[in-house]
Amino acid sequence: MAACFFGEMSYVKPPAGGVLKGMFVPKLSGQGATGAAIALLGALVMPHNLFLHSALVLSRKVPKNVTGVNAACRYFLVESGFALFVAFLINLAMISVSGAVCSASNLSQENQDHCNNLTLDTASFLLKNVLGKSGKILYAIALLASGQSSAITGTYAGQFIMQGFLNLRMKGWKRNLLTRSIAIVPSLLCATIGGAQAAGELIIIASMILSFELPFALIPLLKFSSSTTKMGPHKNSLVIIVISWILGLGIIGINVYYLSTGFVGWLIHSNLHMVGKVFMGILVFPFMVIYILAVIYLTFRKDKAVTYEEPMKPDQIESGIDEMDRAVPHREDLAQIPLPQ
């Protein structure tokens, strides 16, 4: 499907200058643009994948010395960076094709209607130059595949979180049934009651919630990877610390800005009576304050516990201790997690 969108770009030929300008000088215009951008961020990064990537590192045997760990970190960086870069290119192609097609001056009335209400069930018309009439079928298959990929990563992340943080263990089929039911049942209800439009809105809302949850996974990760007591000589460099915190604070600022301005704007322009507006404000504003205070608490909370293990000394190596065996985490809850093969 990614190849199809890139092929479609050769037909519609979006202006290269406009694409580059949009990449480096982003601009949000139109109703709901900020919410869509936040939803895109949550869908692309997904906070649970931060835990998943950290846990999958345990499936690789890394020599427990400075050179080996640093080399492994470089390879892990390349691996994750490549995956995110490919995702970025796919999103770039989709947005460029959508903008080029819907801004054309010779659109038919049918395509104009699709552009005015561009959702998952109507976006297949963007690929008509490449796929023709079979575009809908292949687009549906691509959506099914992406849904399966998202469900698998979510299941693995839930497995590691439940066993690592909560020490909960259950059989694979029970875990799959539980996680699939939690994910599928609300979606089926929304799709059945509200149709395709409600399902599309549910996806956007879920992605926005992921973005709002991102600070609670990102801040501990930044603090952990920048801590000498946790990482020892492998902690982030000063440049990485500064850049990552700037990006992290930017994400937090966007979320807080949208939460406050979005709710206030909705409250002002809603058709509720004054009593209803006051009641909604009293009900929602405390949760917004709690959210902001929780983010501040995570940011400034101090954890002085030392978890870094010193590398093996020469006398330990001479005594016959297998360095590769010592690379297994010393925590039992992590060591007993069944890793994907």
What is the pLDDT confidence band of residue 311, given thresholds at 50, 70 and 90?
low
Instruction: Enter the pTM of the model.
Output: 0.73
Distance, in Å, from the CA atom of 209 to the CA atom of 95, rounded to the nearest integer, reads 22
- The residue type found at 27 is K
In this structure, of 162-171, 235-244, 267-276, 321-330, the range with the lowest mean pLDDT score is: 321-330
Print burial letters for 113-130: b (CB count within 10 Å at least 16), e (below 16). Answer: ebbeebeebbbbbbbbeb
The per-residue pLDDT for 246 is 92
What is the tens place of the pLDDT at every residue in 217-226?
889 888 888 8
For the chain, the farthest-separated pair of C-alpha atoms sits apart, in whole angstroms, at 79
Instruction: Determine the average pLDDT of the residues in 335-340.
Output: 51
Name the burial class of residue 5, with classes exposed (0-12), middle (13-18) and buried (19+) by CB atoms within 10 angstroms of its CB: buried
Q: What DSSP string describes 196-215?
A: HHHHHHHHHHHHHHHHHHHH
Residues 6+ apart with CB under 8 A from 313: none
The per-residue pLDDT for 201 is 77
The per-residue pLDDT for 329 is 46
Q: Calculate the CA 275 to chain-centre distance.
A: 38
Evaluate whether 135 touches 124 at the Cβ level (below 8 Å).
yes
* Element counts in the chain: helices (H) and strands (E): 15, 0
Tokens at 186, concatenated: 């609300």
Distance, in Å, from the CA atom of 273 to the CA atom of 279, rounded to the nearest integer, reads 10
Name the burial class of residue 51, with classes exposed (0-12), middle (13-18) and buried (19+) by CB atoms within 10 angstroms of its CB: buried
How high is the mean pLDDT of the chain? Answer: 77
Evaluate whether 332 touches 48 at the Cβ level (below 8 Å).
no
Instruction: Determine the average pLDDT of the residues in 27-50.
Output: 78
Tokens at 55, concatenated: 């846990």
Evaluate whether 299 touches 256 at the Cβ level (below 8 Å).
no
The per-residue pLDDT for 108 is 76
The per-residue pLDDT for 312 is 58
Q: Which of 153-157, 200-204, 296-300 has the highest mean pLDDT?
A: 296-300
What is the tens place of the pLDDT at every residue in 70-121?
788 888 888 888 888 888 888 888 888 888 888 777 777 777 777 777 777 7
pLDDT at 330 over 60: no
According to DSSP, residue 31 is labeled T
pLDDT at 182 over 60: yes
What is the tens place of the pLDDT at every residue in 121-148?
777 777 776 677 777 788 788 878 887 7
Evaluate whether 30 touches 119 at the Cβ level (below 8 Å).
no
Name the burial class of residue 217, with classes exposed (0-12), middle (13-18) and buried (19+) by CB atoms within 10 angstroms of its CB: buried
SS3 185: helix
More confident residue, 271 or 339: 271
Residue where the block lists tokens 């949760």: 287
The per-residue pLDDT for 324 is 47
Evaluate whether 208 touches 39 at the Cβ level (below 8 Å).
yes
C-alpha dist (Å) from residue 1 to 36, 114, 135, 138: 22, 20, 10, 8
**Sequence-separated contacts (24+) of 308-312 with Cβ below 8 Å:** 308/228, 308/229, 308/230, 308/231, 308/232, 309/64, 310/232, 311/64, 311/65, 311/66, 312/64, 312/65
